[in-house]
Structure 1
Amino acid sequence: MRSLQDAVYNWLTIKVVCDARPDDTAAADTLNLFQQLLQDEHHVASIKVNREEPFYFVDIQTKQEEHKKLRFPIELIDVMLEQMIAEPEKYKNYND
């Protein structure tokens, strides 16, 4: 993943899906992949998310004690979840 912002965008998008669909094993596996990427490539030690219209605000603490703040429009992050809700037959959990 090239940038921290891209990695956080991908992580946050799938985190929103996981939060809404806790039994979705594919989403959980993908979230774990992105969490590992954030730790290994971007040295993220902790990450906190706050949703306040119209943004998700993300606070990041790196292992080098750097603090970064990012924000993403809610409509951009929630698009995957909204598509899954609109067409659930396309997003079945096959581990059931």
Structure 2
Amino acid sequence: MQLTDALFNWLQIQIVWEARSSDRSARDTVLFFEEILREDHQVEKLEKKIDGDHYVIKYEQNGSAKSQTYPREAAEKLLKDILAEPKYNQSFE
């Protein structure tokens, strides 16, 4: 998996997990992508922030500070799709 794809997938599911903190599947998927980023791409210290119409992911790769930007609408699409589907909106408590 390409680094940019792994970062984007991590970002999308991280957004879902933050909105649905009791969703264990979202948590497990976040951890899965963090493992891919760490083991396959030597990425550490992931953090995201919103900057207008974009998300910016800051991270370290092999000791160097880097960043990647993604459109906010695309990053939030997975959450919107999940929220629009009634069968995925059950309680996770």
TM-score (norm 2): 0.90
Alignment correspondent of 1:90? 87
- Report the AA paired with residue 69 of structure 2: R
User: 2:92 & 2:79 partners in 1: Cα distance?
Assistant: 19
List alignment gaps of at least 5 residues for structure 1: none
Coordinate RMSD, CA, aligned: 1.6
- What is the CA-CA distance between 1:90 and the residue it aligns to? 2.5
Q: How does 1:1-96 map to 2 (within 5 A)?
A: 1=1, 3-62=2-61, 64-87=62-85, 89-92=86-89, 96=93
Q: Which runs of 4+ in 1 moved over 3 A?
A: 92-96
List alignment gaps of at least 5 residues for structure 2: none
SS in 2 for 1:82: helix
Q: 1:92 to 1:85 in 2, by over 3 A?
A: closer
1:6-41, Cα deviation, whole Å (9 max, x unpaired): 110000000000000001111111111001101000
Tell whether the 8 Å contact from 2:56 to 2:70 is kept in structure 1 after alignment.
yes
User: 2:67 & 2:17 partners in 1: Cα distance?
Assistant: 22
SS in 2 for 1:58: strand
Tell whether the 8 Å contact from 2:56 to 2:68 is kept in structure 1 after alignment.
yes
Aligned length: 93
